[in-house]
């Protein structure tokens, strides 16, 4: 059986696409996936920094309750709500990353997959699945079962 035809049509390499193009699109996809991971870390940074700011607020409250108004006021004035880089809270960094880098990258990757592979994603991975699976093994099926099962 032609290994390309084992996969569902959405993951079959179009007839006019060569191996070099499949490999190049695989590298492009991997780069986008790495960017997705970086973006996730950026969201983690955003959420952790916001959590730290609220925890500072709690520390201010506890310092005041303990009679340390001067220290509480200093933290509140200098740290609570402070920009993480000049003029920016973390949400602004996330927004700038998304608009300046992530969205253009994702759009270009999609455009190139459309142009070179008829919009078919993960062709390299589909080839790897075909090569690495144990044929005829129930947990190594080429495609998902029909949705009515």
Which residues partner with 96 through β-bridges?
Answer: none
Tokens coding 98: 């998304």
pLDDT tens, 97-138?
999 999 999 999 999 999 999 999 999 998 888 888 888 888
Model-wide pTM > 0.85: no
Cα 33 to Cα 36: distance, rounded to the nearest angstrom: 5
pLDDT tens, 40-49?
999 999 999 9
Tokens coding 133: 């699976």
The number of helix segments (H) and strand segments (E) in the chain equals: 5, 0
Contacts of 3 (CB under 8 A, 6+ apart): 127, 130, 131
């Amino acid at each position: 059986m032609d290994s390309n035809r084992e996969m569902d049509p959405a993951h079959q390499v179009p007839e006019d696409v060569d191996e070099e193009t499949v490999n190049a699109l695989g590298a492009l996809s991997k780069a986008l996936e790495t960017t997705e991971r970086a973006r996730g870390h950026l969201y983690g940074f955003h959420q952790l920094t916001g959590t730290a700011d609220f925890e500072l607020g709690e520390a201010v409250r506890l310092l005041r309750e303990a009679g340390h108004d001067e220290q509480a006021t200093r933290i509140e004035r200098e740290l609570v709500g402070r920009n993480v880089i000049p003029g920016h809270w973390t949400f602004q960094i996330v927004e700038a990353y998304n608009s300046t880098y992530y969205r253009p990258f994702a759009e270009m990757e999609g455009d190139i997959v459309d142009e070179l592979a008829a919009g078919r994603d993960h062709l390299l991975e589909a080839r790897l699945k075909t090569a690495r699976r144990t044929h005829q093994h129930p947990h190594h099926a080429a495609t998902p079962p029909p949705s009515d099962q």
